[in-house]
A = this chain, B = another copy of it.
Amino acid sequence: MDCIDQTDPAAYFDSYEDLKIHELMLTDKPRQDAYQKAILGNRALFAGKTVLDVGAGTGILSIFCAQAGASKVYAVEASNLARLARAVVEENQLQAVIEVSECKVEEFQLPDEERVDIIVSEWMGFFLLHEGMLDSVLYARDKFLKPNGLMFPDTATLFVAPCSVPSRFDQWEDLSGVSMRCFGRALREQNSGNPEVLTVAPEHLLYEGHIIAWFDLMEVTIEELNSIEVKDVIVAQRSGKLQGFCIWFDCTFPGDEAEQQQLSTNPSASETHWKQTVIPLPEDACEELEERDPIAFSLTMTRNKETNRRYDLQLTLLDSEKEEHHLPCECHMTKCILMKTHLEKMQVEEQL
């Protein structure tokens, strides 16, 4: 991850002063399109409403809200980028609607302890939770959002899937006529367990995607984000070499169902600057899988003790013979086939 790599909160905010990160985000078309359509495609939700934009950055989401008819938008940005946001607002002659505040949302105050109708924010980091900006959004929700207010986005779903990563690690048997297996091995060792942000081709997923967590952003608490854990047995939907676990997320926005926007970082969706996050496996854990082979694993995402805004990811491969499978199970293990026969028998008996 060559993006934000800061440890103290001050540095975290300073990093946003590097405009290149904002350039990357602003030129991320699926990101831009999702927010623009979610906001401007739902003018009825914004007309005459007050909005709080948490971590406004260059102010573009605030401008979408003003364009959608919001009567007042509070754009809160902790870094000195707030000054640039102010200039962008003026360039679009929206200073009567949008008020930019250069402060953390935790230090922000609304006039007369007012509350807002809508909170918009683009808080998502790599594997959704990296950067931990959601904490600030939830703080803002609890302090500033009206009881029946709206969150943009309003849900976030985290997915994981076993995957191959062939281009990274499997080209070393013959590189220009030289055998470089031990380089490939060293590369894999250096990277195993370290999550990497990279683009995974949809055909390299061995499973369509297993939900790690689903967040209703109206309800989820900061404490619920301290540790996220999933332990499960999933069944390979295609054959291929298991070399890692791919993590991505989707977000949805409020609106009529016909208008409901989704921002997806699924490998099969258009590429975003979030790409996907892959936890590569050590070489001795990689194995060729057949379709319908079971894969048992646990994945935990826990806040880093030193740096609250970071998460430690831990992936453990489990023994699929010992872990409980979902029933009915599609895998071709004998145990499951026996179980399935037993279940079918039970059903037949019930019908009789």
Which residue numbers of A lie inside 8 Å of B, CB to CB? Answer: 2, 18-20, 22-23, 26-27, 32-33, 36, 40, 58, 60, 63-64, 67, 84, 87-88, 91-92, 168, 171, 175-183, 186-187, 190
**Distance, CA A306 to CA B302, complexed state (A):** 42
Q: Is the CB of B187 within 8 A of A32?
A: no
CB contacts (< 8 Å) of A2 on chain B: these are: 2
Asked if A26 and B183 sit within 8 Å, CB to CB, the answer is yes
Inter-chain CA distance A33–B175, complex, in Å, is 10
Partner among B40, B58, B67, B176 whose Cβ is within 8 Å of the Cβ of A60: B176
Q: How far is the CA of A166 from the CA of B39 in the complex (A)?
A: 29
Known: A26-B183, A183-B19. Is A178-B84 also a contact (CB below 8 A)?
A: no
**A to B CB contacts below 8 Å, 11 in the list:** A19-B183, A19-B190, A22-B183, A27-B171, A33-B176, A36-B176, A60-B175, A63-B178, A64-B176, A84-B182, A84-B186
Q: Which residue of B lies closest to A40 (CB)?
A: B177
Chain B residue at smallest Cβ distance from A26: B175
A92 and B182 CA atoms in complex are apart in Å by: 10
- What are the residues of chain B within 8 A of A60 when measuring CB–CB? 175-176, 178, 180
Q: How far is the CB of A151 from chain B (nearest CB, A)?
A: 21
Question: Is A32 a contact of B91 with CB atoms below 8 Å?
Answer: no
User: Looking at the complex, which one of B19, B23, B27, B186 makes contact with A19 (CB distance below 8 Å)?
Assistant: B186
B178 and A88 form a contact (CB under 8 A): yes
Cα–Cα distance between A176 and B67 once the two chains are bound (Å): 11
Stoichiometry, as copies per complex, reads 2
Tell whether, in the assembled complex, residue A182 and residue B88 are in contact, meaning their CB atoms are under 8 Å apart: yes
A187 touches B23 (CB 8 A): yes
Q: Is the CB of B88 within 8 A of A180?
A: yes
Contact B178 A64 (CB under 8 A): yes
Q: Are A183 and B58 in contact (CB under 8 A)?
A: yes
Which 10 interchain pairs have the tightest Cβ spacing?
A: A87-B182, A19-B187, A36-B176, A63-B178, A32-B176, A91-B179, A19-B190, A2-B2, A92-B179, A91-B182
Cα of A91 to Cα of B173 in the assembled complex, Å: 10
Q: A187: which B residues are within 8 A, CB to CB?
A: 19-20, 23
Beta-carbon contact of B67 and A177 below 8 Å:
yes
* A18 partner residues in chain B, CB cutoff 8 A: 190
Q: CB-CB < 8 A to A23: which residues of B? A: 168, 187
Question: Are B178's CB and A92's CB within 8 A?
Answer: yes
Roughly how many angstroms separate A168 CA and B27 CA in the complex, as a whole number?
10
Bound Cα distance from A178 to B63, whole angstroms: 7
Interchain CB contact under 8 A, B190 and A91: no
CB distance from A179 to the nearest CB of B (A): 5
Q: In whole angstroms, how far apart are the Cα atoms of A180 and B187 in the complex? A: 42
B58 touches A88 (CB 8 A): no
Of A22, A26, A27, A67, most B-chain CB atoms within 10 Å: A26
Q: Which residues of B contact A20 (CB under 8 A)?
A: 187, 190
* Cα–Cα distance between A84 and B187 once the two chains are bound (Å): 11
Chain B residues, CB < 8 A from A91 = 179-182
Task: Please give, as numbers and ranges, the residues of chain B lying within 8 Å of A171 by CB-CB distance.
Answer: 27
Can you name the residue of chain B whose Cβ is closest to the Cβ of A196? B20
- Tell me which residues across on chain B come within 8 A of A84, comparing CB atoms: 182-183, 186
Q: How many Å lie between the Cα of A60 and that of B176 in the bound state?
A: 9
| Closest chain B residue, CB of each to CB of A167 | B27
Q: How far is the CA of A187 from the CA of B64 in the complex (A)?
A: 21
